[in-house]
């Protein structure tokens, strides 16, 4: 394929999960999606046991989502900071996310009810979430010499060509993997 033709998604020939893709790639931005951040913060030693209980429940929730793609969770990753842990997820729609959050038989709902019942006892363990509805064509990304990650892992992994070589070109493109190079 010539470098000036439309890029093609790499999904056709998947590599090992952590394989490095040499060069520069982006994520296709031709779909609406929801970005969901959820995390916890350890505020003090009194909340250590509650923080641990919440922290231990997270792998079960993530495993359940991975096992059931029909929930609408496209993927995500876990990150750690000073006194914090959080998950960034990409969802097919807000309705899918909301349905998962409220489903009484899924891992999330019982944990949320447990935390809310703790009330004042939980003040040393903070929790938070942020939800963003993102319209198709209104986001861009770049991954250089990386395994599939973030949006490119959750959606499509597309080689960068001249037509998508800058952040401005990618954000202004309505669908970079269908755009002709110029």
Residue-level pLDDT at 124: 82
Residue 16 inside a domain? The answer is no
What are the DSSP calls for 60-98, one per residue? Answer: HHHHHHHH-GGG-EEEEEEEEETTEEEEEEEES-HHHHH
Residue 150 inside a domain? The answer is no
- 8 Å CB contact between 60 and 42: no
Helices (H), the chain: 48-67, 94-102, 108-118, 150-154, 167-172
**How far apart (Å, rounded) are the C-alpha atoms in residues 121 and 131?**
26
Residue 160 inside a domain? The answer is no
Tens of pLDDT, residue by residue, the chain (182 residues) = 344 444 555 544 556 778 899 999 999 888 999 999 998 888 887 767 777 777 777 788 888 888 999 999 999 999 988 888 899 999 999 999 999 988 888 777 777 777 778 777 777 888 889 999 999 989 999 999 999 999 999 999 999 999 999 999 988 875 444 444 33
What is the CB-side half-sphere exposure of residue 122 using CA atoms within 13 A? 17
Dihedral sign of CA atoms 104, 83, 148, 139 in order: positive
Residue 101 inside a domain? The answer is yes
Q: Name every residue whose Cβ is closer than 8 Å to that of residue 35 and which is 6 or more positions away in sequence.
A: 88, 89, 90, 91, 131, 132, 134
Residue 97 inside a domain? The answer is yes
Residue-level pLDDT at 180: 40
Q: For residue 70, what is the domain's CATH number?
A: 3.30.70.100
Residue-level pLDDT at 3: 44
Domain span at residue 87 reads 33-134
Residue 108 inside a domain? The answer is yes
Q: How many distinct structural domains can be found in the chain?
A: 1
Residue 162 inside a domain? The answer is no
Residue 118 inside a domain? The answer is yes
Q: Name every residue whose Cβ is closer than 8 Å to that of residue 135 and which is 6 or more positions away in sequence.
A: 32
């Amino acid at each position: 394929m010539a470098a000036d033709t439309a890029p093609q998604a790499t999904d056709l020939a998947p590599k090992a999960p952590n394989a490095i893709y040499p060069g520069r790639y982006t994520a296709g931005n031709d779909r609406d999606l929801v970005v969901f951040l959820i995390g916890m913060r350890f505020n003090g030693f009194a909340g250590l046991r509650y923080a641990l209980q919440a922290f231990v429940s997270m792998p079960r929730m993530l495993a359940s989502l991975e096992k059931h793609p029909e929930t609408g969770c496209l993927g995500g990753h876990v990150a750690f900071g000073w006194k914090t842990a959080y998950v960034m997820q990409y969802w097919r729609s807000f309705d899918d996310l909301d349905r998962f959050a409220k489903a009484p038989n899924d891992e999330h709902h019982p944990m949320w009810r447990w935390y809310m019942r703790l009330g004042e006892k939980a003040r040393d363990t903070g929790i938070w979430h942020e939800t963003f509805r993102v319209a198709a064509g209104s986001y861009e990304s770049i991954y250089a010499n990386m395994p599939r990650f973030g949006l490119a892992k959750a959606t499509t992994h597309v080689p960068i060509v001249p037509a998508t070589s800058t952040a401005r070109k990618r954000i202004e493109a309505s669908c970079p993997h269908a755009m002709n190079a110029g």
